[in-house]
Structure 1
């Protein structure tokens, strides 16, 4: 039943649809098409554009992942080493996440910037999570 429906679409409905399309015989004829004729052509043009894109997509350049780059790009660059001290006794919430990707806008506290960093670089860095024990 499914194949019969597909067969009907391909053998009957598609040719009927294509016959009704206002396809000009010359390139200049496209300039003379009305708005309603262009609207009737849109589905076909969209499908052709999609097929064209899917055809050339394997040949398009791939997005390069950044590897072997600096980790700390902007935090306390004037210091030879970045050190943050936090007293465990000062933890006011049960869980505190500290940044290890150096991209956090709230450094040293994590703001989940590592997610974007990992996508760009292929890295797998995550936060340091300190949990306060309840006695």
Structure 2
């Protein structure tokens, strides 16, 4: 723990004090090539750290774990299922979790999905109204 304490209390402040940040804009003109290099290295490191911290929030589309549909009709650009309303019968349940092996019909896979992810998705239930 002493090692970490020394880094935080001694080395980091010493390094930050060594970064050549001028007091005014005119001071940038007086920097040497070595000081510019030091300043660019420090700035690049800070920029990279900020970028890596923010990147997960900016690129959610690129993250595989953000996909809803993991396996159904992946060769299609869009999954569309058409159902004739006359063929529905008295009650039908449609999958909304995209995990059903009988997709687009629900097979109860949402229960495991909800347990694994903490989600609360359930089926779309269509029921014929008694007249």
- TM-score, normalised to structure 2, is 0.49
- Taking CA–CA contacts closer than 8 Å with sequence separation of 6 or more, which of the two structures ends up with the larger relative contact order? 1
- The TM-score with structure 1 as length reference comes to 0.47
